[in-house]
Amino acid sequence: MKRTVLITGGSRGIGAAIATLLKKEGYAVIAPTRAELDLKSDNSIESFIQHHKAARIDILVNNAGVNNPQRIDEVSDENITETMQINLIAPVKLIRAVVPGMKKRKWGRIVNISSMFGIIARGRQVLYAATKHGINGVTKALCLELAPHNILVNSVCPGFTATDLVLRNPPEKVKALVAEVPVGRLAKPVEIARLVHFLISEKNTYITGETVLIDGGYTCR
């Protein structure tokens, strides 16, 4: 059966790689643009949900995310609101919207794209780490609630991946990040996409509530 996937942040980076791979693998992919679904705006989320009320969403990939690193003494209110809203509140609202249909059909897969900073932390990552640790908590609590309904929920926790989020840094900073990665390079977005593909597929029948690291060994240090 052709399953339908809703993925946020499918315009570029990891989300684009996931959308491309899943389309190639025969999934129907709904990948709203920012104009169709702006996770910063409660109104946009609500109207997107209303618009897709009748749509059959078998799989949700909460991928869109932001990271604006700031030290605690420079953290702005705007950054607090935006990071919490996009990385944590919006994913929970989308999950709440798709779960009733999944329950009715007794089948569902949810993948939250978290981060290795949902497991460990670094300075200037207070907000990012808070939201990524938070979404991993959401994954675990939902695993317990939804497993009886045959809905599997997992977090994927990438390390440094070759997208705008990392490559917007000066080249010397990127080089310094890579130097800390045991495999000696950034992850390619498609490498993250392949893991997501497995977790949402019919082949995954028993992994749920997991926070799966895919970081080239970074967190082993």
Ligand X SMILES: NC(=O)c1ccc[n+]([C@@H]2O[C@H](COP(=O)([O-])OP(=O)(O)OC[C@H]3O[C@@H](n4cnc5c(N)ncnc54)[C@H](OP(=O)(O)O)[C@@H]3O)[C@@H](O)[C@H]2O)c1
Selected range binding ligand X among 35-43, 48-56, 69-77, 142-150, rule: CB under 6 A: 35-43
Question: For ligand X, which is the closer residue by CB, 68 or 103?
Answer: 68
| Residue matched to tokens 């440094």 | 160
Is 139 a binder of ligand X (CB under 6 A)? no
| Closer residue to ligand X, CB minimum distance, 67 or 211 | 67
77: CB partners within 8 A, 6+ apart: none
Our finding on whether 166 is near ligand X (CB under 6 A) is yes
CB of 45 to ligand X, least distance (A): 9
Contacts 24+ apart (CB under 8 A), 72-80: 72/126, 75/126, 75/127, 79/127, 80/127
d(CA 199, CA 207): 7
Give the DSSP letter string of 50-82: HHTTTS---EEEE-------B-GGG--HHHHHH
Q: Is 13 in the site for ligand X (CB under 6 A)?
A: yes
Closer Cβ to ligand X, 44 or 201, answer by number: 44
Three-class SS state of 107: coil
Query: What contacts 133, CB < 8 A, 6 or more positions away?
Result: 117, 118, 119, 121
Helix 90-105 × helix 126-146 angle, to 10°:
20
Q: How many residues form the binding site for ligand X (CB under 6 A)? A: 27
Comparing CB distances to ligand X, the nearer of 42 and 145 is 42
Q: Say how many residues make up the chain.
A: 221
Asked if 27 is an active-site residue, the reply is: no
Does residue 138 belong to the site contacting ligand X (CB under 6 A)? Answer: no
Does 64 contact ligand X by CB under 6 A? Answer: yes
> Does 216 participate in binding ligand X (rule CB under 6 A)?
no
CA–CA gap between residue 60 and residue 160 (Å, rounded)? 23
Select 27 or 160, whichever has its Cβ closest to ligand X: 160
Q: Is 163 in the site for ligand X (CB under 6 A)?
A: yes
Residues 174-193 binding ligand X (CB under 6 A) are: none
Point out which residues bind ligand X (CB under 6 A).
Answer: 8-9, 11-15, 34, 37-40, 63-67, 86, 113, 115, 158, 160-161, 163-166
Catalytic residues: 128
